[in-house]
Structure 1
Amino acid sequence: MPADAEAPVVVDRRAGPHGEVVLRQHGPLLQIIANGTFLMDTSDGTSERLLVRAALEELRRGRRHREAHRAAPRLLIGGLGVGFSLAEAAAEPEWGRITVVEREEAVIHWHREGGPLSGLSAEALRDPRTEIVHADLTRYLRDCELFDALCLDIDNGPEWTVTEDNATLYSPAGLAACGARLAPGGVLAVWSAQASPTFGDALRNAGFQGVRTEEIPVARGVPDVVHFATKPA
């Protein structure tokens, strides 16, 4: 029987402050479902890895045009998910501190040693640069340290949020908070399940420059998208 014809099996189900979070197995794949909405699975990870890889390329490109050179760039990943973005970051020695902010305690638990998702993230979690923070990203951004890159993957996109309160992240005030937590020349990268032309306008209105989108083909359906923007140096 093909994997996609098998009935999904619930591995774990948790009730948290933001609703229900479920880890489900569908054939060989593990899937994260939040409040009945599919978020991600372990099928590919190309776009989640690109989120981090391309952000570093943007930083490199900007630094080639500036004389000043910082220490190893500091990265904040919004959303642990199944761990693809963290694994990509930890595999790159050029990154300095790697901070991952995840609001669902269940997701963090699934990645801990022996957890069902630990096979994807165990090596990255052992990396001394890695720090996992259990917090709501919108609140964390209010007074955290400065980062050189913010790579955000907490929703299915700016127009398709997991919970209503997440929409504040993509509002003018939320984008201003992102800009405030970026060092000059820093890069903001936002994952989305589909393109959002209006979000590009919102980024420009928030004072970001170099706004662009990159499409990543998927096996079925519309391409995933990563929105990129840079804080002026």
Structure 2
Amino acid sequence: MHQEAGPPSPLAPLTEPPVVLDRREGPHGEVVLRRHGELLQIISNGTFLMDTSDGRSERLLVEAALEELRGPISPENGATPGRAPVSGPSRQGPREGPRLLVGGLGVGFSLAAAAAEPAWGRITVVEREEAVIDWHREGGPLSPLSAEALRDPRTEIVHAGLAEYLRTDGGPLSGASFDVLCLDIDNGPGWTVTDDNGSLYSPAGLASCRARLAPGGVLAVWSAQPDPTFDDALRNAGFQGIRTHEIPVVRGVPDVVHFAIKPA
């Protein structure tokens, strides 16, 4: 899920106290959903994570990853050699399009953006907090944001830790490959929500990401600030085409998305 450091969004009517809608204790600590005026906010272990005020970063993460997958157009064949074909679902089923994995469900902005794009094939969202998934179920507080996307036959929600899901080498998750991995579970590789998330950006974690990508596939990692050392880590993990896309914010340094490509 996309993280925001500091106080709730300035768009929230701070004259009204927040109202807790649900509070859960899970394996990673406490997770809370609260309403603050018109906004819904997710709080983890007392830290404000995200709210429903904008969603621009989450949507751009998915949209820019698709553009990165498309790559430069070749005049000879209209596509980039070695990249996955990008086309809308056909009557044969959703696997006709590139397969997307989104790390983190959050308030559902990334999922909604993906489901609104017919070019995607299978859309898999991995979320470790059962409470967050419950809040998106029919009738849940967050369902208005994700109901249409969850009804999309291309969508599947997986309750698992992302690092665990990526490295699984047996059982029902074995063998699944993706054309794009969009990771939005931390403030960035050097600013994780919990200590165990750090393994995702380690050499072993990045190797798991690379292994789960199809040849020519794209890894996109959201971060609250640029991290040149992460670019080096991506190169050391065997990725190529590494670049950083800046996302302007109201104040402070821009958010960024780190892009990297698995060699074809």
Residue-by-residue CA offset, 1:150-185 (whole Å, 9 max, x unaligned):
001111111111111100000011001000000000
1:62 Cα shift?
6.0
Matched with 1:182 is 213
The normalised TM-score by structure 1 is: 0.95
AA aligned to 1:65 is T
Q: Does 1:203 align with 2:234?
A: yes
Find the aligned partners of 1:232 and 1:17 in 2 and give their Cα distance.
Answer: 37
Matched with 1:123 is 148
* Structure 1 runs not aligned, ≥5 long: none
Residue-by-residue CA offset, 1:180-204 (whole Å, 9 max, x unaligned):
0000000001111222111111111
Contact 1:52/1:88, CA 8 A, preserved across alignment: yes
Matched with 2:63 is 53
Q: Does 1:43 align with 2:53?
A: yes
1:5 Cα shift?
3.5
Matched with 2:160 is 135
- What number of residue pairs does the alignment pair up? 232
Q: Does 1:101 align with 2:101?
A: no
AA aligned to 1:77 is V
Matched with 1:9 is 19
* Structure 2 runs not aligned, ≥5 long: 1-11, 74-78, 86-95
Contact 2:70/2:80, CA 8 A, preserved across alignment: no
SS at match of 2:185: coil
Matched with 1:154 is 185
Matched with 1:25 is 35
Matched with 1:167 is 198
Contact 1:99/1:130, CA 8 A, preserved across alignment: yes
Pairwise CA RMSD: 1.6
Q: Which residue of 110, 121, 126 maps to 2:135?
A: 110
- The alignment-based identity, stated in percent, is 79
Cα pair distance change 1:11/1:200, threshold 3 Å: same
Matched with 2:6 is none
Find the aligned partners of 1:191 and 1:98 in 2 and give their Cα distance.
Answer: 18
AA aligned to 1:106 is A
Find the aligned partners of 1:191 and 1:135 in 2 and give their Cα distance.
Answer: 20
Cα pair distance change 1:218/1:28, threshold 3 Å: farther
The normalised TM-score by structure 2 is: 0.84
Find the aligned partners of 2:18 and 2:83 in 1 and give their Cα distance.
Answer: 52
Contact 1:80/1:86, CA 8 A, preserved across alignment: yes
Contact 1:39/1:155, CA 8 A, preserved across alignment: no
SS at match of 1:3: coil
SS at match of 2:71: helix
AA aligned to 1:127 is D
Contact 2:31/2:42, CA 8 A, preserved across alignment: yes
Cα pair distance change 1:132/1:66, threshold 3 Å: same
Find the aligned partners of 1:229 and 1:67 in 2 and give their Cα distance.
Answer: 14
